[in-house]
Amino acid sequence: MTSSQALLSAKNLGRQLGDRWLWQGVNFELFAGDCVGLVAPSGVGKTLLMRNLVLLDPFQQGEVRFEGKPLAAWSLPTYRSRVMYVPQRAIAFDGTVQDNLKQVFDLGAYRQRQFDPAIIQTWLAQLGRGPEFLKLNGARLSGGEAQILALLRALQLDPQVLLLDEPTASLDATTTAQVEALLHDWLQSPHRACLLTSHDADQIRRVTYRQINLGEFA
């Protein structure tokens, strides 16, 4: 991949529900260092587009490329390990937060990696949490705590592209600012980019460098 090549690109994407097109002709590129806001009125399908980008839902038209290659050139586990979707409503499994974080390393795509408690505790400190957070019961987490878990679970796997769907919707203002700072730091490493949705227009202005208005393609 050259420095001028997009990490992730979408060309002429379209998604249909029944007889109605939610959007058509969606084009964009994410380059290394980008943090791009995905904005639109409610109901236009921002979450659906993010799910489409990781092939959790099908497109009716268009093409997505990663590092210049069509998605057919990538195995699905490899692609999803490098382009990672973090939903707004995070899923936590039985066991502690640490159990939840370690569990993903049982998946084939991550078996060559190991859980690193030191980096997790560093990130937790940045988010105003101590090591005791790792001992919380995953099934009893609040909405905000589950969002922190979901973000840490993704970051530890070192993806190149993060697709963040309302990542701070359940967090207070202080923790939201801490998450934004952590994402800013994460983007400083080479070959990383982020696509983010938020109902908070101020957050979109603070965090993202440019925006894609999905409503323009509806």
Taking the C-alpha atoms of residue 124 and residue 102, their distance in angstroms, rounded to an integer, is 15
CATH number of 35-56+73-208: 3.40.50.300
pTM: 0.94
CA distances (Å), 138 to each of 65, 134, 147, 150, 198, in order?
Answer: 35, 9, 11, 11, 25
Taking the C-alpha atoms of residue 31 and residue 18, their distance in angstroms, rounded to an integer, is 33
Average pLDDT over residues 153-173: 96
20-42 pLDDT, tens per residue? 899 999 999 999 999 999 999 98
Taking the C-alpha atoms of residue 66 and residue 40, their distance in angstroms, rounded to an integer, is 24
Q: What is the pLDDT of residue 146?
A: 96
Q: Where are the domains of the chain?
A: 35-56+73-208
97-156 pLDDT, tens per residue? 999 999 999 888 888 889 999 999 999 999 999 999 999 999 999 999 999 999 999 999
